[in-house]
Structure 1
Amino acid sequence: MTFIDTADSATAYHCQNLLNLYALAQDTRDADLFAGLFAEDARWERPVKNAPVIGRAAIRHDIAELIRSRPETSRYQHIITNVICHSDEPGRAESGCYALVFSGDAGKFDELPPIALPAGILRYRTRFSNQEGGWRITFHRAERLFTPSS
């Protein structure tokens, strides 16, 4: 495993962009965008699920259910930070990063919620592949590192 250097900055860019879109899709409640980031046979592991979600269609179903389970007035903001990308071979890459997740309820759809401590701090481990149609996530694991104090 070697770190991506400036000669492979395009790979690092695509990985970072997919992670940013992953966060944006969740924050904007866009299940189609979210699922489209994943390869057809991708694996998604979340801390609140006992089993991985496998396949783009299953991932789309799972994120849509998660979105529906949250009140429309709830807001989420994922901040992706400390991204490190590396690649062993052309067309494949891995990354590790952290996500700070803020959440709040505005009470009304057009109001801003008050800021609070992060709802969680997560570590993401992600693998990517450059497939027909562009770069896609082939594996993503989110692990809780911290939760808010009660």
Structure 2
Amino acid sequence: MTEDERRAIEQDCLKLIATYAVAADHHDAEAFVGIFTEDGEWIRPKASLKGHAALRDFMVRRPRDVLSYHVSSNAVVTVTGPATARGISYATVYRHEGHAGGEAPLTGPEAIVEYHDDFVLTPAGWRIAARRSHSIFRRA
């Protein structure tokens, strides 16, 4: 694998990490589902979601009056093969319930979350096969 090929894989995977945050924050179920493989899994501390149907259902059911913003940072992608990579990233999550539009009050971060991703190359491009998330800090 050339250095340019490795960098291209890293960039494609970094875009998936960013798309996750933007899609979640903008209630974009199709973009959210689209970053995962067909059988992709989001593994969270209290529940896991596996497959496009479960991921889409989660996004569609999210309350529209809950405003959230995932500020992603410190993303590192390691290419492990021509069709596999893994990543780690952090997100500072801001959240406001009862949002009716406009500017929301800023009360500080809700949580700092760490993500561990397994990426695979599919016929449609790079996708997340598994995403494990857990809070490092959570507002008391």
TM over 0.5: yes
Q: What are the residue-to-residue correspondences of 1:14-33 with 2, within 5 Å?
A: 14-33=12-31
Shift of 1:107: 4.4
Indicate which of 48, 60, 66 corresponds to 1:64: 60
Shift of 1:74: 2.7
Q: Which residue of structure 1 aligns with residue 91 of structure 2?
A: 99
Q: Which residue of structure 2 aligns with residue 142 of structure 1?
A: 133
Which amino acid is the alignment partner of residue 25 of structure 2? D
Gaps of 5+ in 1: none
Cα deviation code 1:24-47 (max 9, x no counterpart): 011000111101111011111123
Paired residue total: 139
Mapped partners of 1:143, 1:35: distance in 2:
20
Cα deviation code 1:96-140 (max 9, x no counterpart): 11111001247422x110112111111000011111011111000
Q: Return the TM-score normalized by structure 1.
A: 0.85
Which amino acid is the alignment partner of residue 60 of structure 1? R
Cα deviation code 1:62-108 (max 9, x no counterpart): 2222x1xx2x3331110111111112211211001111100124742
Computed over aligned residues only, the root mean square deviation of the Cα atoms, in angstroms, reads 1.8
Mapped partners of 2:97, 2:50: distance in 1:
31
Mapped partners of 2:44, 2:124: distance in 1:
26
Gaps of 5+ in 2: none
